[in-house]
Copies of this chain bind each other. A is one copy, B any other.
Amino acid sequence: MSGSTGGAPQIDGQRLLGRLDELAQIGAIEGTHGNCRLALTDEDRDGRDLVGTWMADLGLDITIDGLGNVVACTEAGRVADSVMMGSHIDTVATGGRYDGNLGVLAGLEVIESALSSGRMPARPLSVGYFTDEEGSRFAPDMLGSLAYVGGMALEEALEITDRDGIAVGDELDRIGYRGAAPVPGTVPFAFMELHIEQGPVLEFHGVQIGVVEGVQGISWTEVTLRGQSNHAGTTPMPLRRDAGLAACRIANEVRDLAHNIGDSQVGTVGAISLVPNLVNVIAGSATMTVDLRNTSEAMLQHAESRLDEIVSRNAEAEHLEASQRRTARFEPVEFDTAVIDLVEKCAAEAGLTHRRMPSGAGHDAQMLARVCPTAMIFVPSFDGVSHNPAEYTAPPDIEAGANLLADVVWRLANGEIDSEIVESGATT
């Protein structure tokens, strides 16, 4: 490898913040700082057009694939050799301006600051954004990056429809983003994603940087309990078959389960629906959701089997019929240990407070991790709020995160950990 031996050029924080602001004007939600750019809508197209202008202004080589994933590289035809940065620019219906956008625009900023400095690393740099990461309009989420790494056939992805029956392929044609580049896409040398944490951990600990080790595995279960609806006054306690009570007992034990397993285990009962849901009627049936997440597949399976036991035992105690349905299941993703170590080392050298952590939410990086050495950097989310117009990350945190991204990418692109990457058995 050859290239500049100096450190990465400092990024221009004002330019990055300015672009975040400009992009957030497209699909802005009036009276808030948030926006709505659902995948493949007119607003998404306008956002893509704006980011495309910035990419073109830097003279980058832009490719658009058959699913609308866009990659811009400092050297034409060299994406396979590049260190890629990126994320997504679609949002949820009531989205903030940082989720996804930060990873794309920070990648662009890293490239621009390098180009402006006149110093470039040995490897080319690229930045991409992937179609429909949020999954708010077309399921599943992370659709673009899933197909990019070969996890779903292009034909299948194009036929996915939204609630109104409109297909991904037709919308890509309509907004002019069905490109010619092949899907699956070109695998880069490595991939880095800067993202807001979307949780409260960094803020709570007063730490600037999250060194993301992987993405939690997810297990969603819908539990349905059937008992007997009866009069709350005339039915003695021992004769009740109260589906609502059993749902509440299960919810309590899900909290206990998470506490007892500890480590990264989380467990949430976010939705409970009782029937008939009246003050003076014992609930005859209850439907509830259980969201279990762990960074360890073995522990996640352990949590699932504990949940089975909790549901069975509580249903039996209240003489209920119980059924369960797994509504989502993703295995945990572990990022490349050498790249994780590099992120941590760079953060330390930059004097940034940092802590290793899992991601509780899904990200495009977890798809890229299937095919190349990958890691992520988190910056703090005010109050842990995300998917909300109130989403906010302080400018100094954004700048620190982007500079850390630049440093990590610079070193990856200069071959600083090539030997460790090979040793860690990454899949390149």
Name A's B-contacting residues (CB within 8 A). 197-201, 204, 216, 218, 220, 222, 228, 230-237, 239, 242, 244-245, 247-249, 251-252, 255, 258-259, 265-274, 276-283, 289, 291, 293, 327, 359-361, 383-387
Contacts and interface: CB of A to CB of B under 8 A. Distances in A.
Contacts of A327: 279
Contact of A384 (B234, B244, B252, B360): B234
A59 to B, nearest CB: 37
A232 B270 contact: yes
A401 to B, nearest CB: 16
A232 B293 contact: yes
B231 A387 contact: yes
Contacts of A236: 199-201, 266
Given A234-B197, A237-B258, A384-B239, A279 B251 contact: no
A241 B259 CA distance: 15
Given A272-B274, A273-B277, A384-B231, A244 B251 contact: yes
Contacts of A361: 231, 233-234
Given A237-B259, A255-B237, A258-B237, A230 B199 contact: yes
A178 to B, nearest CB: 31
A232 B220 CA distance: 11
Residue of A204, A230, A268 most packed against chain B (CB within 10 A): A268
A233 B216 contact: yes
A268 B291 contact: no
Copies in the complex: 2
A214 to B, nearest CB: 13
Say whether chain A's binding surface is mostly helix, strand, loop, or mixed: mixed
Contacts of A235: 199-200, 266, 360, 384
A282 B235 CA distance: 33
A373 to B, nearest CB: 24
Q: Which of A235, A259, A386 has the most CB of B within 10 A?
A: A235
A108 to B, nearest CB: 25
B272 A244 contact: yes
10 nearest CB pairs, A to B = A199-B234, A233-B360, A234-B360, A248-B248, A232-B268, A279-B289, A248-B251, A232-B291, A271-B277, A198-B234
Given A198-B234, A233-B216, A235-B360, A269 B245 contact: yes
Contact of A220 (B218, B269, B279, B386): B279
A198 to B, nearest CB: 5
Given A231-B384, A231-B386, A248-B248, A268 B255 contact: no
A32 to B, nearest CB: 16
A233 B266 contact: yes
A289 B248 CA distance: 13
A275 to B, nearest CB: 10
16 contacts: A198-B231, A200-B239, A201-B236, A201-B239, A232-B266, A232-B360, A233-B293, A233-B361, A235-B266, A244-B251, A268-B281, A271-B274, A271-B278, A271-B279, A272-B277, A279-B327
A270 B233 CA distance: 11
